[in-house]
Amino acid sequence: MSESAIDNISAKLKLKFEDAPPFGGGSMPVEKEKTMVMLAHFFSWIVWLLMRKQSPAVDAHGKEATNFAITILIFYIPLGIVLGFLPGFLLTIVSLLLLVVWLGLLLLVIIAMIKAKEGKLMRYPINFRLIK
């Protein structure tokens, strides 16, 4: 995807971005830091827990992404339990709808990863910020 396509999608979804802590503010090299902020959105718990003390940027991105992962779990675990009691045809319909939702969540993570490398922190919509 081109940068303008990402910007167009972000504008249509009304996503909020803010400046993240600048790269180079911690003990890791800038290029590694850029990689880690991107990976923090995809492997949030692992990267944030291991690298948060080495970089303020990784810490900020990791917190936001970890909060998003926790928010998804808060919704998906009870939903998974309820789905276990649905009849087959209804389960199929709801599962297809959840697949569309999951693809939308994946799109949000990809946008956040791309913007993270540019030094922008995406504030995920519908995110319980439990870790401050």
- pLDDT value for 1: 64
Q: What is the largest CA-CA distance in the chain?
A: 54
- pLDDT value for 46: 94
- Between the alpha carbon of residue 9 and those of residues 6, 37, 44, 72, 84, the distances in Å are 5, 21, 23, 21, 35
- pLDDT value for 68: 95
pLDDT along the chain (132 residues), means of 10: 79 88 90 94 92 94 95 91 88 92 94 93 89 86
Q: Are 41 and 58 in contact (CB under 8 A)?
A: no
Instruction: Measure the CA–CA gap between 33 and 38, rounded to whole angstroms.
Output: 9
What contacts 119, CB < 8 A, 6 or more positions away?
Answer: 19, 20, 22, 23, 57
Q: Where are the beta strands (DSSP E) in 1-132?
A: 16-19, 120-123
